[in-house]
C-alpha cells in the first residue's frame, strides 16, 4: 500500500538534492533548475497531502505555485540574458558586486 | 497700587538689550550713554515714586506677582517683587547711585574700545541688582545674585586683552562661586527643613512668617544661616573669601564704584537683612558673623595702610567697611548695618569716582607727554588740589565722612554700629575694640591717600605735570551730588542721645522689629557710656588723621624711616599678609594638581581609553565581519539554508 | 495488485531521484535540463497515481513544456556548453553537509510529524464520477477566485518585466 509518507519521502529527497544543487553549482541556469526541482518536490507534497486529506485546496495551491514558477522563469531568464550581455558569463562566482 | 514694580528692573534690561544688540551699529557715544543713563534714571524715577508712596503707606509690605515661573508639587515660584522698607531703600541706592555712575561713565569711558559693551553690561548689572533686591522669593534673588556675579565678571574683565584683568575676572567668579555654593546649600536646607514641617516655600514673607517652626538656636537653623553667611562672604568679600575684591580693581573705575563698592558687594549684607528672622534665631551664627565682620574690618584696614595704588587702598577700605556692616548684622544692629550700607554707598562711590577723576587726569597728562607711567600710583601724584579743585573738595568731604568725623554721614552710621557692638546683648567689648582700632586705621590710610594725592609737592613727571586738567562736567556733577549726599546722608539716622529722632531706625521697624523683639536683641548702656564711646572713637579717628598729617604732610621723610625700622612688618602688610600666596599653596595649586591628574590620568588614560577602545573594538569587529559579506550569491544562499535548518530543527527537536 | 502498484511506485521514485541527481551533477546545462524534464515526467506520473490527472497534464504542459523549453532556449541562445577548463561546482563539502542536514530535517519531519489537517469530502469515487478538472475548476472559481485573478496580474507583470530586462538597450 502506497501511503502519503512514501510520496513525502520522495519529496524530501528531491528537495535536499535541489538544496545541494543550489549551493554547489556555479552555473546560474543550473541553479535556477535546481530551484525548480525544489519547487516541484513541494508540489508533490502538496498534492499527496491534498489527496490524503480529501481536499482540493492543496491542488489549487500547486496551480498557483506553477504560475509563480512560470513568472519566475520568465523574469529570471531575462535577468540572466541581461547579465550575460554585460559580463559574457552567467557564472555566479562572477557576480560579487553585492558587497560592502 | 504697587503692581508696576516690574518697571524698575525692566528699564535697565531694555537699555542693556538695546546697547548690547545695536550698540555696535549706533557708534555714537552720546546716544549709547544716553540710552543707558536714561534707562536707569527712569528706574530711579519709578523707584522714587514707590519709595515715597511706601513712606506714606501704613501697610509696609507689598508684593507684586508678574508671572508664574514654575509650579512643582506644592511649591509655587513666581516672578514676583517685594517692596518693603529694606528693598525700597536698596532700590533707591542702586538706581540713584547707579544713575550718577552711568552719567559719570559717559565722560570717563570716552573713547574707549567697546563703549557700547560697557554700558550694556552696566545696565545689565543694574537689572540683576534690582532683581536681587526686589525679588520676593529666594529663587528670584538667586537669579539676581548670579546675574550680578556674571556682570561683575564681565566688567572686571572689561579690558580682557590685559592678562591681569582676565585673571582678576576669573578669580572673582571662582571665589564668588564658593559663596554661591553656600547660598544654595543654605536655601536647600531651609527649603527641606520648612518642607518637613509642612511649609513648602521659598518666599521671603512666608519664610519669615514660618521661621518659628524652626528650633530657635538649634543646630539646623545655625547650619542654614552659616551656609547663607558663606554666600554673603563670597559676595561681600569677607574673610576668608575677600581676596577677589582688591583684584577686581582691574575693571574700569566706575565699575569699581558701582559694583565693587556701592551695590553688589553689599548684597551679602542685604541678604542677611532679608533673612534677619533666621539669623536672629541663631546666636552662634550671629557671633560668627560679628567676629568675621570685625576681623575683616581690622584685617583689611591693616593692608590698606601700606598700599600705593589709589584704587587698591579704596578696595581694602571697602572690604573693611563691609566688615563693619557684617559686624552690625552680627550684633543685631540690622538697621544700623543697612544704614551704614547706604552712607557707605554714598561716600565710597564718591571716593571711587573721585579717584577715577584723578586717574583720568593723570592719564590725560601722561598721554599728553607720551609717557607710560602708572596713573594709579599715588607715589606719582601729590599737589593735585589746585589742579582739580572740585575733585579735591568732594574727595575730602567723603574722606572725612568715612573717617567718622562728627557732622558727616559716616560718623552716624559707624557710631551706631560701634555702640551696638559694645552695648548689644549679642555684642562684646572686644568687638567694639576691633571696630574702633579699625576706625582709627581707616582715618589714617584715607587721609594718607588724600595727603599723598592732593597735598605736598607734585611728584608727577615734569613733562606731564602741567597737563593734568580738571575732569569734564559729566564727571564732576556726579561727584558733587555724591559729595553732598556724603555729608547729609547721615542725618536720617541721628541717634537719640544727640537729639535726633533716628528716623532710619523707625523706618526699618517693620522689617527688623519682629526679629529683634522675638529674640530679645537690645542694646543697653547709660548715656554716659554712649557719649564716652563716641568720644573715644572720634578721638581715635582724629588721632589717625593727625598721624597721617604728621607723616605725609609735615614730615614726608617719616614714612621712609618708619618702613626702614619695621621692614618685616611693612613687607608683610604690603604683600597683603601673603593671603593670596597662602591660598595658592593651600587650595589653588592642589586643585590645579588634582585637575591635571584627572586630565592626564583619568581623562586621557581611562575615559579616552575606554572610548577609543570601544571604537577600536567596533572597528576590528567590523573588519572581521566584513569578510562575511562576500557579495557571492551562493554564500548568502548558504546562510539562508543554515538559518532555515536552525529554525526548522529547533521546532523539530524542541 | 497492490504489490505491483508499490513496485511501480518504487520504480518511478527511483527514476525521479536518479534524474534529480543527474540534474545536480551533470556538467553540461543541457544534460541537466534534460534530466530535469525526466524528473518532471516522473512527478506527472505520481500525480496520475494520486488521481490528479489535471495536475499531471499541467505539469507536463507548463513545466516540461513551457518552462523547460524556455530554459533550453536560453541555454542555446547563450551558447552555454560545458566549459572543460573551469570547475562547475564550488563548496561541495559544505553544500553536501547542508544537503544531508536538510534531508535529515525533512526526514524527521516526515517521520515524526503527524498530519493534522481537516478531513475534506473529496474521495476517489467523487473524482472518478464528477471529474478532476471540474473539481479544480469549481475550487478555483469559487473559493480562490480573487487569488486566481491576482495571478493573472502577476503573469502580466512578469511578461512586462521579462521584456524590459531582456531588451537590448533600455
Q: Do C102 and B652 touch (CB under 8 A)?
A: no
Whether residue C13 contacts residue A10, with contact meaning beta carbons closer than 8 Å, is answered with yes
- Using CA coordinates, name the residue in chain A closest to B633: A92
Q: Do B637 and A23 touch (CB under 8 A)?
A: yes
B90 or C122, higher pLDDT: B90
Task: Say whether residue B654 is in contact with chain C using an 8 A CB cutoff.
Answer: no
Task: Say whether residue C90 is in contact with chain B using an 8 A CB cutoff.
Answer: yes
> Does A77 map to a domain?
yes
Give the pLDDT score at A21: 93
- Phi and psi (nearest 5°) for A2? -85, 120
Task: Say whether residue C108 is in contact with chain B using an 8 A CB cutoff.
Answer: yes
CATH number, domain at A80? Answer: 1.10.287.3510
DSSP B76: E
Mean of pLDDT values over B562-569: 83
Tens of pLDDT, residues C9-27 = 999 999 999 999 999 998 8
Whether residue C45 contacts residue C56, with contact meaning beta carbons closer than 8 Å, is answered with yes
Domain membership of residue A11 as a residue range: 4-87
Tens of pLDDT, residues B20-53 = 998 888 888 889 999 999 999 999 999 999 999 9
Task: Say whether residue B642 is in contact with chain C using an 8 A CB cutoff.
Answer: yes
B372-B574-B540 Cα angle (round to 5): 115
- Using CA coordinates, name the residue in chain C closest to A42: C43
Neighbours of chain C (3+ CB pairs under 8 A): A, B
Give the pLDDT score at B350: 92
Give the pLDDT score at B97: 92
Tens of pLDDT, residues B410-427 = 888 898 898 888 888 888
Spatial separation of the C-alpha atoms in residues B22 and B16, rounded to whole Å = 10
Tens of pLDDT, residues B284-321 = 999 999 999 999 999 999 998 888 889 999 999 999 99
Mean of pLDDT values over B469-491: 88
pLDDT band at C169 (very low <50, low <70, confident <90, very high): low
Spatial separation of the C-alpha atoms in residues C20 and B347, rounded to whole Å = 112
B486-B316-B442 Cα angle (round to 5): 55
> Does A62 map to a domain?
yes
> Does A96 map to a domain?
no
Q: How many domains does chain A have?
A: 1
Number of H helices, E strands in chain A: 3, 0
Cell of B648: 526548522
- Compute the Cα dihedral for B501, B503, B509, B512 and give only its sign: negative
Distance from CA of B630 to the nearest CA of C (A): 14
Task: Say whether residue C19 is in contact with chain A using an 8 A CB cutoff.
Answer: no
Tens of pLDDT, residues B184-222 = 999 999 999 988 888 888 888 888 888 888 888 888 999
End-to-end CA distance of chain B: 84
> Does A95 map to a domain?
no
Task: Say whether residue A23 is in contact with chain B using an 8 A CB cutoff.
Answer: yes
Q: Do A92 and B638 touch (CB under 8 A)?
A: no
Cell of B17: 538689550
pLDDT band at B498 (very low <50, low <70, confident <90, very high): confident
Task: Say whether residue C86 is in contact with chain B using an 8 A CB cutoff.
Answer: no
DSSP B588: I
Task: Say whether residue B645 is in contact with chain A using an 8 A CB cutoff.
Answer: no
Distance from CA of A42 to the nearest CA of C (A): 11
Task: Say whether residue A97 is in contact with chain B using an 8 A CB cutoff.
Answer: yes
Distance from CA of C105 to the nearest CA of B (A): 6
ipTM attached to this prediction: 0.91
Chain C residue numbers touching B641 (CB-CB < 8 A):
98, 102
Out of B634, B642, B648, the one facing C91 most closely (by C-beta) is B634
Spatial separation of the C-alpha atoms in residues B238 and B297, rounded to whole Å = 9
Mean of pLDDT values over C131-137: 88
Task: Say whether residue B567 is in contact with chain A using an 8 A CB cutoff.
Answer: no
- Using CA coordinates, name the residue in chain A closest to B626: A100
Cell of B454: 592732593
> Does A26 map to a domain?
yes
> Does A51 map to a domain?
yes
Chain A residue numbers touching C109 (CB-CB < 8 A):
12
> Does A34 map to a domain?
yes
**Mean pLDDT score of chain B, rounded to an integer?**
88
- Longest CA pairwise span in chain A (Å): 56
Tens of pLDDT, residues B234-277 = 999 888 888 898 888 888 999 988 888 888 899 999 999 998 88
**pLDDT-wise least confident of B139-143, B179-183, B510-514, C154-158:** B510-514
Q: Do A96 and B631 touch (CB under 8 A)?
A: yes
Q: Do C105 and B641 touch (CB under 8 A)?
A: no
Interface list for C 89-108 with A (CB within 8 A): 89-92, 94-96, 98-100, 102-103, 106-107
Task: Say whether residue C130 is in contact with chain B using an 8 A CB cutoff.
Answer: no
b/e per residue, B136-159, with b = 16+ CB within 10 A? bbbbbbbbbbbbbbbbbbbbbbbb
- Segment (H or E) for B79: strand B75-83
> Does A98 map to a domain?
no
> Quick check: C82 pLDDT over 70?
no
Give the pLDDT score at B398: 93
Whether residue A13 contacts residue C20, with contact meaning beta carbons closer than 8 Å, is answered with yes
Q: Do B631 and A99 touch (CB under 8 A)?
A: yes
Cell of B153: 565678571
Whether residue A41 contacts residue A15, with contact meaning beta carbons closer than 8 Å, is answered with yes
Q: Which residue has the cell 537689572?
A: B127
Amino acid at each position: 500500500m502506497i501511503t502519503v509518507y512514501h510520496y513525502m519521502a520522495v519529496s524530501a529527497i528531491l528537495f535536499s538534492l535541489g538544496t545541494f544543487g543550489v549551493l554547489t553549482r556555479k552555473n546560474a541556469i543550473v541553479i535556477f533548475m535546481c530551484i525548480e526541482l525544489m519547487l516541484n518536490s513541494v508540489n508533490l507534497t502538496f498534492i499527496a497531502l491534498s489527496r490524503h486529506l480529501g481536499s482540493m485546496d492543496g491542488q489549487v495551491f500547486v496551480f498557483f505555485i506553477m504560475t509563480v514558477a512560470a513568472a519566475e522563469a520568465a523574469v529570471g531568464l531575462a535577468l540572466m540574458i541581461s547579465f550575460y550581455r554585460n559580463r559574457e558569463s552567467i557564472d555566479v562566482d562572477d557576480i560579487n558586486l553585492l558587497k560592502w | 497700587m504697587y503692581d508696576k514694580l516690574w518697571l524698575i528692573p525692566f528699564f535697565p534690561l531694555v537699555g542693556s538689550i538695546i546697547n548690547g544688540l545695536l550698540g555696535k551699529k549706533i557708534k555714537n557715544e552720546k546716544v549709547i550713554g544716553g540710552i543707558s543713563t536714561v534707562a536707569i534714571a527712569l528706574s530711579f524715577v519709578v523707584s522714587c515714586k514707590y519709595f515715597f508712596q511706601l513712606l506714606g503707606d501704613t501697610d509696609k509690605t507689598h508684593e507684586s506677582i508678574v508671572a508664574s515661573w514654575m509650579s512643582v508639587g506644592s511649591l509655587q515660584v513666581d516672578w514676583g517683587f517685594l517692596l518693603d522698607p529694606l528693598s525700597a531703600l536698596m532700590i533707591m541706592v542702586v538706581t540713584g547711585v547707579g544713575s550718577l555712575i552711568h552719567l559719570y561713565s559717559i565722560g570717563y569711558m570716552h573713547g574707549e574700545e567697546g563703549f557700547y559693551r560697557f554700558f550694556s553690561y552696566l545696565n545689565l548689572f543694574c537689572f540683576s541688582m534690582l532683581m536681587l533686591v526686589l525679588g520676593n522669593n529666594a529663587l528670584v534673588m538667586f537669579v539676581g545674585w548670579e546675574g550680578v556675579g556674571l556682570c561683575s565678571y564681565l566688567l572686571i574683565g572689561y579690558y580682557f586683552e590685559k592678562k591681569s584683568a582676565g585673571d582678576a575676572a576669573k578669580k572673582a567668579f571662582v571665589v564668588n562661586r564658593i559663596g554661591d555654593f553656600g547660598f544654595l546649600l543654605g536655601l536647600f536646607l531651609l527649603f527641606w527643613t520648612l518642607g518637613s514641617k509642612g511649609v513648602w516655600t521659598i518666599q521671603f514673607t512666608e519664610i519669615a512668617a514660618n521661621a518659628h517652626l524652626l528650633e530657635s538656636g538649634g543646630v539646623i537653623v545655625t547650619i542654614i544661616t552659616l551656609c547663607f553667611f558663606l554666600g554673603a562672604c563670597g559676595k561681600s568679600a569677607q574673610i576668608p573669601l575677600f581676596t577677589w575684591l582688591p583684584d577686581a580693581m582691574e575693571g574700569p573705575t566706575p565699575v569699581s564704584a558701582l559694583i565693587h563698592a556701592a551695590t553688589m558687594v553689599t548684597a551679602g549684607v542685604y541678604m542677611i537683612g532679608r533673612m534677619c528672622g533666621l539669623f536672629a534665631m541663631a546666636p552662634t551664627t550671629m557671633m560668627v558673623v560679628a567676629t568675621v565682620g570685625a576681623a575683616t574690618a581690622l584685617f583689611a584696614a591693616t593692608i590698606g595702610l601700606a598700599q600705593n595704588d589709589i584704587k587698591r587702598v579704596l578696595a581694602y577700605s571697602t572690604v573693611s567697611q563691609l566688615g563693619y556692616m557684617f559686624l552690625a548684622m552680627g550684633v543685631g544692629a540690622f538697621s544700623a548695618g543697612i544704614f551704614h550700607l547706604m552712607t557707605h554707598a554714598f561716600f565710597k562711590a564718591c571716593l571711587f569716582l573721585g579717584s577715577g577723576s584723578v586717574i583720568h587726569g593723570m592719564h590725560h597728562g601722561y598721554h599728553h607727554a607720551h609717557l607710560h607711567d602708572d596713573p594709579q600710583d599715588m607715589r606719582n601724584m601729590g599737589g593735585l588740589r589746585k589742579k582739580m579743585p572740585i575733585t579735591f573738595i568732594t574727595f575730602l568731604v567723603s574722606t572725612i565722612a568715612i573717617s567718622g568725623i562728627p557732622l558727616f554721614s559716616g560718623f552716624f552710621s559707624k557710631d551706631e554700629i560701634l555702640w551696638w557692638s559694645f552695648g548689644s546683648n549679642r555684642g562684646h567689648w572686644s568687638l567694639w575694640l576691633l571696630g574702633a582700632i579699625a576706625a582709627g586705621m581707616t582715618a589714617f590710610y584715607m587721609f594718607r591717600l588724600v595727603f599723598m594725592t592732593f597735598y605736598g609737592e607734585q611728584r608727577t613727571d615734569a613733562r606731564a605735570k602741567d597737563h593734568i586738567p580738571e575732569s569734564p562736567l559729566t564727571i564732576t556733577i556726579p561727584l558733587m551730588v555724591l559729595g553732598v549726599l556724603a555729608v547729609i546722608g547721615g542725618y536720617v539716622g541721628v541717634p537719640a542721645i544727640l537729639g535726633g529722632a533716628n528716623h532710619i531706625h523707625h523706618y526699618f521697624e517693620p522689617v527688623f522689629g519682629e526679629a529683634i523683639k522675638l529674640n530679645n536683641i537690645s542694646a543697653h548702656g547709660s548715656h554716659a557710656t554712649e557719649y564716652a564711646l563716641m568720644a573715644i572713637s572720634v578721638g581715635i579717628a582724629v588721632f589717625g588723621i593727625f598721624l597721617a598729617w604728621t607723616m605725609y604732610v609735615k614730615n614726608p621723610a617719616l614714612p621712609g624711616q618708619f618702613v626702614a625700622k619695621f621692614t618685616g612688618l611693612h613687607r608683610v602688610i604690603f604683600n597683603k599678609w601673603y593671603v593670596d600666596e597662602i591660598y595658592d599653596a593651600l587650595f589653588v595649586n592642589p586643585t590645579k594638581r588634582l585637575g591635571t591628574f584627572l586630565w592626564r590620568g583619568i581623562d586621557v588614560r581611562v575615559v579616552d581609553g575606554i572610548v577609543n577602545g570601544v571604537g577600536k573594538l567596533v572597528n576590528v569587529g567590523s573588519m572581521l565581519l566584513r569578510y562575511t559579506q562576500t557579495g557571492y550569491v551562493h554564500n548568502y544562499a548558504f546562510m539562508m539554508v543554515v538559518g532555515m535548518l536552525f529554525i526548522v530543527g529547533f521546532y523539530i527537536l524542541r | 495488485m497492490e504489490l505491483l502498484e508499490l513496485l511501480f511506485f518504487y520504480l518511478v521514485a527511483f527514476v525521479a531521484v536518479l534524474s534529480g541527481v543527474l540534474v545536480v551533477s551533470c556538467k553540461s546545462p543541457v544534460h541537466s535540463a534534460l534530466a530535469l524534464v525526466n524528473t518532471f515526467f516522473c512527478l506527472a506520473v505520481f500525480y496520475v497515481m494520486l488521481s490528479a490527472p489535471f495536475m499531471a497534464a499541467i505539469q507536463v504542459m507548463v513545466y516540461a513544456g513551457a518552462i523547460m523549453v524556455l530554459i533550453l532556449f536560453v541555454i542555446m541562445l547563450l551558447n552555454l556548453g560545458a566549459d572543460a577548463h573551469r570547475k562547475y561546482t564550488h563548496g561541495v563539502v559544505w553544500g553536501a553537509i547542508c544537503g544531508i542536514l536538510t534531508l535529515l530535517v525533512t526526514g524527521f519531519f516526515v517521520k515524526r510529524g503527524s498530519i493534522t489537517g481537516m478531513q475534506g469530502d473529496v474521495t476517489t469515487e467523487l473524482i472518478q464520477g464528477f471529474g478532476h478538472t471540474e473539481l479544480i475548476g469549481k475550487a478555483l472559481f469559487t473559493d480562490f477566485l480573487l487569488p486566481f485573478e491576482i495571478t493573472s496580474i502577476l503573469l502580466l507583470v512578469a511578461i512586462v518585466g521579462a521584456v524590459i530586462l531582456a531588451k537590448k538597450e533600455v
